[in-house]
Structure 1
Amino acid sequence: MLNENSSQNYVVLARRTRPQSFSHLVGQDIVASAIEKMLSNQKIPHAFLFTGTRGTGKTSSARILAKSLCCEKGPTISPCQSCVHCQQITSCIHDDVLEIDGASHTGIDNIRELREATRFFPNSARYKIFIIDEVHMLSTGAFNALLKTLEEPPPQVIFILATTELHKVPITVRSRCMIFTFKKIEQQIMEKHLKNILTLEKIGFEDDAITLIAREAKGSIRDALSLLEQVIAICNHSFISSDLTKNALCVQGEEIAENIFSAICTKNLGDALELLRNADLASLDMAILMDNISQYFRNAMLIKTLNNKERAIVLTSLLPQEYSLIQEKIQNISVAAISEIFKLTANSIKDIARSNAGLAWSEIIITECISRAEWLSTSELMSLLSHSPKTIVEQKTHLTTKHVQENFVDLNIFKKFVALAEQKSKTLATRLNHVKVDLFNKNIIQFSDTLENKSHLSFNENDLDLFWQCIYELQLQNATFKGLYTPQQPTKQNPSKNLNTKNKNEQTSHEAVTKLRNTSNIMQSFQKYNSEKISIKSTELLNNTSNKAISLSEINHQEKNQGFLQKERALYEKDHIQQLKNYATEMQIIPVD
């Protein structure tokens, strides 16, 4: 027994709990059962190839197999652990069991030495066994030198190769071996194993703490044991709580990632950018942070689509409180938006990792994520198209004609306005393309009170004059101008234009404004996914949009979507008619006039 009081003799938890027989192998029942049957039937291949992610038991299985073959009672599925062969293999000092590190013995000369060693009979054991770990690190010349020996080794020689990257092993080597794939350890199995170890160590724990450790290990039992030992040290070998476990794991940027996820779901760009800046000041890796954010949206996608708490928790490995948090945040965001945001964040990780401007990259990505948070899926758009304009009018008969005429964005006028601005100034047109508009018609012009508009509508003196020139040329000067950031008319008039500069004197009263803002939008019948307001154009309202803030670039995007759906419907109808014709031909139906 090791002396626990001596730090020099201390053995880490991952080594102390290493399995010594196939029955103790954690989470690899299929592999263990297959090898045990080979041993029982005395049908042992001359070359094994173990593949799988790190920490899943490949090297441990290779040593167990070596003990099973060399044990005095063997070949057996249960090594005795007491004979000289078992003890020496456990201590890695057996003369006939050679462990070779493929990462440090990559050259052809190393393989030639190994090939020479295969010519000699075992010193004391039944077999001479060569365990080559990380075999994919061998050079091409080394693999070629090994091929002949690997195909027809001496009868007393057995090769056991192990790799984490099977695709890097030449097909000529793979075809000469019997391949066993070690899968990632399931989280439930890993949690049970960790709890058994803590019970033997007489250390108390919270179930949530063990769940956090198993989830962070990502299927590697060795990583889980290393993390567990780290948590035990921080908890001073006493009770393991979930709070201390979170601090001990030091998951980089997870809390900030959660807050950014919430900011994206609530479309709060200011908070999201501030959180990114705080993460940069804390020297967090932006690529890892973006990876954590993408994982949140991956979990959100599963929660939204499954709509089953128990199943979603199993698939996402979330704690119940984490599940509730994500479910609450995604109430007003569509499946299509979640999918697009996940793709955007996941695809940006490599770019951010390679870039020297990680913060700038992240800011651009998060801004795009928030702009996509209102996207709709094709099924949602098709559902909206099923509503007729007549139904909309019938449901909103209580609205006054004046309100209907004022409470919309006239697309024709707005597009003419931007086109006219583009003739005068490219810079002005670019800003107007991205500005958010609440109302834009002959009666009311109102730009949204958003931070984006504050930037887009901050015109220089020249662009401001050109802006108002366009207003006068389209005869919109008599409209009521509202909005915190809506440009104000300069006191100096443009001498080149003989336009009417009379401003509208009558202002809408405070009571009328309040009433106007509180009146329901005529498009409210399109509500879906938890009262999310969705606007769509119909035949009668083709050139109008609702009073929801929108920019011209978004309007163009919606028109493209509508055009696509119309073409898609036409193709469906055409295909349906063709199918009817084919069916009539098959049934030999003769048309009757």
Structure 2
Amino acid sequence: MSYLVLARKWRPQTFEEVIGQLHVTRTLQNSLRNSCVAHALLFSGPRGTGKTSVARILAKALNCEYGPAPHPCNKCGICREITAGSSIDVQEIDGASNRGIDEIRQLRENIQFLPTRCRYRIYIIDEVHMLTKEAFNALLKTLEEPPSHVYFIFATTESEKIPATINSRCQHYEFRRLCTAELADHLSSIVRTEGMGLQQDAILLLAREAEGSVRDSLSLLDQVAAYGATSLKEACEVLGIVETQVLKELAIAILESDISKALKLIDDVYSFGGNIQKFITDLVFFFRNLVVLKNLELDSAVTLLDFSREDAKEFSPLVSKYSAHSLFQVLDALIKGQEAICRSTTPKLSLEMLVIRLCSIKEVVGIDDLLGKVDKLLSSVKIQEKNLSEGYAKEIKVAPAVNPVSVTQKKCSPGAWTDFVDSVKEQHPVLGSLLTCCKAIEIKNNGDLIQLKCRSGIQHDMLCEVDHQQSLRELTKKFFKRATDVVIEEIRDNVDTGAAGKTFSLRDELIQSPLVKEAVKVFHAQISDVRIFSNRGQEV
């Protein structure tokens, strides 16, 4: 007799044996009890969660000789035929290999015939999302108004690929992944029944690696049992999985910035033949568990962790040494680096570079702790300032008076003004040229006030601009070593020579202007025409 793998041997035969899908089994049992089972059902969910098994149980419940009933007997001939897969009226179709419109047309022709032995003809189409668009369209009318003796049960792992027109004609049941604890309990009962003697920590490892899939967990258990493993170390060896202890040591090396130890652990995993992509994924989930354990109480965290209460207690001292911010920072960096490692052609090198960067990260101080340290620092500074102020007060009473350093001020005179204009020409050529145009200078209030007399015209207007006035104040203060006010006085001609004479005077003034002369000299130009405009923009 050929060996029957555990996934088939322990396949559920009744609704009660299906684990983790109570929301589906209870609904179907109530529908059977009330005789209101829909003619088209869609089962979707991750692999190995019981979709096809529930479809077979439903087929037995509908066709059982003592039914339809929510509890198939599994003893009558029809139930045994459906369990063995030899029933003519219950057909399982692989949607991946029978995906064309021709297969669906053949199915539409066959459903017209009455069942041979059973009460109903039942079509179970697995991986239905693999059907072509034309095949789905051919099913529309049949699904909407099928014969009374036909039921359709569709199963898929990718429900989003099912057309909306098909989905709307079916009752949709979503199967869920099993949590690690629930799957571990199921495996423990099987291990006890089979007499394998596998330790609980090894069972928990299988449940975690199955990622919520019952079939995957049983396949892993089959492999471990064939190896004869009983301990966690042996289970890791046969499955090629890195032990939790290695992850813990690597986490400590990263948190303690021990680059040498971290690289040695990575090299050991690589030499062991471990998958680097799988290893970085395990490391990400390990730090995720540490973050959860840090932020929650032990009793609350155990239900959300992927390891046992004993492991959680073992890792609690490790978590207590570091702040939640530091753990979260490492987790965030691992998540960002995980994608790059999975795409890399040299994943080992990428992982080593990531771990070196993580070891270089300094421990993060929380905002609350930082503010507390700042408050303490400020309070100590205030105390020191108070002590220093008292000490300074005592020293001031006994310290002799010290004469301040005197600043020698330059006396403002016509000669000094000439020197000032020359210095301005070097620093501010335009302003120096304008000052040269001034006809006279008067010094008042011992040099605190300088009055410049300038003829009406463009030079006077430019000297009165805000920017030039500001620059003039700064330059005089810098040159004479004291604040000096400079006032520009406008000189007007008393003789009215008429419009022609005024225009000639302005033209002559502009031509003789030092600024214009400087422009002619710099640009090697010559004056060809001079036009005078009024304030309104009209030519005079």
Q: Same fold (TM over 0.5)?
A: yes
**8 Å contact kept, 1:73–1:80:** yes
Find the counterpart in structure 2 of residue 461 from structure 1.
Answer: none
Find the counterpart in structure 2 of residue 334 from structure 1.
Answer: 323
Q: Alpha-carbon deviations, 1:157-202, whole Å to 9, x = none?
A: 1111111222222222222211112222233333333233233334
* Distance of 2:62 and 2:384 partners within structure 1: 82
1:213 to 206, 212, 226: 206
| Bigger Cα displacement from structure 2, 337-346 vs 273-282 | 273-282
* Distance of 1:363 and 1:208 partners within structure 2: 29
Residue 393 of structure 1, CA deviation: 7.3
Find the counterpart in structure 1 of residue 277 from structure 2.
Answer: 287
Partner secondary structure for residue 263 of structure 1? helix
What is the CA RMSD across the aligned residues, in angstroms?
2.7
* Distance of 2:316 and 2:255 partners within structure 1: 11
1:23–1:149 Cα change, 3 Å: same
1:348–1:174 Cα change, 3 Å: farther
| Bigger Cα displacement from structure 2, 116-125 vs 379-388 | 379-388
Partner secondary structure for residue 78 of structure 2? helix
**Amino acid paired to 2:92:** E
Partner secondary structure for residue 79 of structure 1? coil
**Amino acid paired to 1:257:** L
1:150–1:331 Cα change, 3 Å: same
1:171 to 160, 164, 170: 164
**8 Å contact kept, 2:242–2:269:** no
**8 Å contact kept, 1:265–1:330:** no
Counting only pairs closer than 5 Å after superposition, residues 67-466 of structure 1 correspond to structure 2 as: 67-235=60-228, 240-252=230-242, 256-306=246-296, 308-391=297-380
Residue 378 of structure 1, CA deviation: 4.3
Partner secondary structure for residue 330 of structure 1? helix
Counting only pairs closer than 5 Å after superposition, residues 47-66 of structure 1 correspond to structure 2 as: 47-66=40-59
Residue 116 of structure 1, CA deviation: 2.4
Find the counterpart in structure 2 of residue 497 from structure 1.
Answer: none
Question: TM-score, with normalisation over the residues of structure 2?
Answer: 0.66
**Amino acid paired to 1:259:** E
Find the counterpart in structure 2 of residue 587 from structure 1.
Answer: none
Counting only pairs closer than 5 Å after superposition, residues 462-473 of structure 1 correspond to structure 2 as: none
* Distance of 2:13 and 2:250 partners within structure 1: 46
1:98–1:346 Cα change, 3 Å: same
**8 Å contact kept, 1:253–1:289:** no
Partner secondary structure for residue 14 of structure 1? helix
**Amino acid paired to 2:363:** E
1:396–1:246 Cα change, 3 Å: farther
* Distance of 1:249 and 1:103 partners within structure 2: 30
Residue 292 of structure 1, CA deviation: 1.2
* Distance of 2:111 and 2:133 partners within structure 1: 21
* Distance of 1:381 and 1:225 partners within structure 2: 51
Residue 133 of structure 1, CA deviation: 1.0
Question: TM-score, with normalisation over the residues of structure 1?
Answer: 0.60
Residue 125 of structure 1, CA deviation: 1.5
Q: Alpha-carbon deviations, 1:436-471, whole Å to 9, x = none?
A: xxxxxxxxxxxxxxxxxxxxxxxxxxxxxxxxxxxx
**8 Å contact kept, 1:46–1:158:** yes
Residue 49 of structure 1, CA deviation: 1.0
Partner secondary structure for residue 249 of structure 2? helix
* Distance of 2:362 and 2:49 partners within structure 1: 39
Q: Alpha-carbon deviations, 1:247-267, whole Å to 9, x = none?
A: 344314755433322211111
Residue 126 of structure 1, CA deviation: 1.4
* Distance of 2:384 and 2:274 partners within structure 1: 53
Residue 69 of structure 1, CA deviation: 0.8
* Distance of 1:285 and 1:321 partners within structure 2: 27
Give unpaired runs (5+ residues) of structure 1: 1-5, 398-593
Residue 341 of structure 1, CA deviation: 2.0
Give unpaired runs (5+ residues) of structure 2: 387-540
* Distance of 1:346 and 1:119 partners within structure 2: 55
1:260–1:209 Cα change, 3 Å: closer
* Distance of 1:347 and 1:355 partners within structure 2: 13
* Distance of 1:347 and 1:253 partners within structure 2: 23
Partner secondary structure for residue 132 of structure 1? strand
* Distance of 1:392 and 1:146 partners within structure 2: 82
Residue 15 of structure 1, CA deviation: 0.8
| Bigger Cα displacement from structure 2, 283-292 vs 65-74 | 283-292
**8 Å contact kept, 1:56–1:222:** yes
Partner secondary structure for residue 49 of structure 1? strand
Q: Alpha-carbon deviations, 1:225-246, whole Å to 9, x = none?
A: 222222222227xxx3444334
Residue 102 of structure 1, CA deviation: 1.6
* Distance of 1:146 and 1:196 partners within structure 2: 43
1:322–1:128 Cα change, 3 Å: same
Partner secondary structure for residue 93 of structure 1? coil
Find the counterpart in structure 2 of residue 36 from structure 1.
Answer: 29
Partner secondary structure for residue 159 of structure 1? strand
Residue 331 of structure 1, CA deviation: 3.3
**Amino acid paired to 2:112:** R
* Distance of 1:269 and 1:350 partners within structure 2: 22
* Distance of 2:380 and 2:330 partners within structure 1: 34
1:42–1:335 Cα change, 3 Å: same
1:232–1:277 Cα change, 3 Å: closer
Q: Alpha-carbon deviations, 1:260-293, whole Å to 9, x = none?
A: 2221111122322333344444443322121111
1:223–1:363 Cα change, 3 Å: same
1:34–1:288 Cα change, 3 Å: same
Partner secondary structure for residue 320 of structure 2? coil
Which structure has the larger Rg over C-alpha atoms? 2
Residue 61 of structure 1, CA deviation: 0.3
Partner secondary structure for residue 290 of structure 1? helix
* Distance of 2:45 and 2:293 partners within structure 1: 29
In the comparison of the two structures, how many residue pairs are matched?
387
* Distance of 2:299 and 2:289 partners within structure 1: 13
